[in-house]
Amino acid sequence: MKAAILGTGSWGTAFGRHLAGSWESVALWGIEAAQVRAIADEHRNPAFFGDLALPSNMTASLDLATVLDGADAVFMILPSQAIRAVARQVHDIGLPDGVPVISLSKGLELSTLKRLSVVLEEEIGANHPIGVLLGPSHAEEVVRGLPTAVVLAGRGADWHSWQPRLSSSTFRVYTNHDAVGVEIASAFKNVIAIAVGLCDGLELGDNTRGTVMTRGLSEMARLGVALGGDHATFYGLAGIGDMITTCTSHHSRNRNFGEAVARAQEDPQSLLDHSVQVVEGAVMTRAALKLCAKHSIELPITQEVHDVLFSGKDPRSAMRGLMERTLRCEGE
């Protein structure tokens, strides 16, 4: 089998290395010439993984048609705001009917507030199964073969039959009927990771971190259910599992970004502009507040993160605002 992976970043490279253990060939497409050359010619990606060797059946190209040719599945591992444009290119090149397209990207399209699987279906068409593969999966650990479990959901295919094709002894794939909840959870946890990073940067301690994560989970479930997700999904791998990982790991770009904002006393936009990797939580914060207004729900942590990032609010004032809100029952 041949896998086409669109994206040569850390996650695309790590997932490709994983698939190369059981698939005949893995081809990556990217727009960064240096990364593509390194993967194709030297079988490594020093921009993210130093001299770590990549398998010989894993290659890369700047030509999208070459990567798509003969693919048995296409995996989208790109920044969320780039998904539509690349999906349109995939459509224009053409895929044989029935070839599944699976997104491993976490986020929503800001301009439309649509889930990425919806964007893929709109651009690539109904003749292709559309899936998502999401969960607690830092590239830095997957590439080393450390045990990881994720969730596969979508429409148009027997996804149970895809579980063994995507799994290994160190990468376990579960299925879930609730693609809406899985996508919303995977996107929203980045907002809470920024909030936790802000608290860590202010050195507010473990009690604060636990509080923000727990109340953040409530916000995630509140938003996800309003959008049609199953409440139980937010207490699974794509929800609380990914939130724990993203909020506590030194690999987390969203948590690290929040900490840098609190410590640097620097304009958050300047930090975003100089970030090597996309901080998806910053985009999701804006999307979540738009959805919050549309569905008349309350997301206080999200609101404070937004005000710190985009309205110049001091992080300490943001935390004080959360602590001084009207007292209420925990279930509200």
Range of the domain at 186: 180-323
Assigned domain for 331 exists: no
| CATH number of the domain bearing residue 135 | 3.40.50.720
If asked whether residues 158 and 285 sit together in one domain, one would say: no
Look-up: residue for tokens 């976490």? 106
- Of the residues 175, 195, 210, which one is the last residue of a structural domain? 175
Tell me what pLDDT residue 36 has.
96
Question: What's the confidence (pLDDT) of residue 331?
Answer: 81
* 203 and 169 belong to one structural domain: no
Distance CA 86, CA 120 (A): 9
Residue 38 placed within a domain: yes
Instruction: Kindly state whether residue 32 falls inside one of the protein's structural domains.
Output: yes
Same domain (yes/no): 186, 42: no
Whether residues 194 and 239 fall in one domain: yes
Domain-terminating residue out of 157, 175, 193 = 175
Q: Which pair of structure tokens corresponds to residue 196? A: 């936790």
Q: Are residues 226 and 318 in the same domain?
A: yes
Query: What is the C-alpha to C-alpha distance for residues 19 and 171, in angstroms, rounded to an integer?
Result: 10
Q: How confident is the model at residue 248 (pLDDT cuts 50, 70, 90)?
A: very high
**Spatial contact of 176 and 233, defined as CB atoms under 8 Å apart:** yes
114 Cβ neighbours under 8 A, 6+ residues apart: 108, 122
Domains in the chain, number: 2
Q: What is the pLDDT of residues 214-227, one digit of tens each?
A: 999 999 999 999 99
Tokens representing residue 265 in the block? 């006393």
Q: Are residues 170 and 194 in the same domain?
A: no
Torsion sign over Cα 217, 150, 52, 8: negative
**148-200: pLDDT as tens digits:** 999 999 998 899 999 999 999 999 999 999 999 999 999 999 999 999 999 99
The pTM of the full predicted model, rounded to 2 decimals, is 0.94
Task: Tell me, yes or no, whether 156 and 252 share the same domain.
Answer: no
Q: Is residue 150 in a domain?
A: yes
Q: Which residues, other chains included, contact 230 with Cβ-Cβ below 8 Å and sequence gap of 6+?
A: 177, 178, 180, 181
* Beta bridge pairs of residue 148: 171
| Any domain includes 296 | yes
- How much is the average pLDDT of 293-297? 93
CATH number at residue 315: 1.10.1040.10
Q: In angstroms, what CA-CA distances link 194 with 79, 168, 222, 309?
A: 17, 31, 19, 10
Active-site amino acid positions: 189
Our separate counts of H helices and E strands in the chain read: 16, 10
| Residue 274 reports pLDDT greater than 80 | no
171 and 184 housed in the same domain = no
Sign of CA dihedral 157, 229, 212, 116: positive
Evaluate whether residue 330 is within a structural domain.
Answer: no
Give percent above pLDDT 70 in the chain.
99
Q: Is residue 164 part of a domain?
A: yes
Specify whether the CB–CB gap between 261 and 236 falls below 8 A. Answer: no
pLDDT at site 277: 75
- Residue 110 shares a structural domain with residue 142: yes
Residue 328 included in any domain: no
Instruction: Among 125, 156, 175, give the residue marking a domain's end.
Output: 175
140 and 194, same domain (yes or no): no
Whether residues 31 and 170 share a domain: the answer is yes
Report d(CA 79, CA 156) in Å as an integer: 24
166 and 18, same structural domain? Answer: yes
- Give the CA distances from residue 192 to residues 8, 80, 186, 215, 291, in Å, rounded to whole numbers and listed in that order: 27, 18, 11, 9, 16
Residue 309 has which token pair? 């990032």
Q: Give which of 321, 331, 300, 287 is closest to 111, Cα–Cα.
A: 287
| Non-local CB neighbours of 3 within 8 Å, separated by 6+ positions | 16, 19, 23, 25, 26, 27, 71, 72, 73, 75
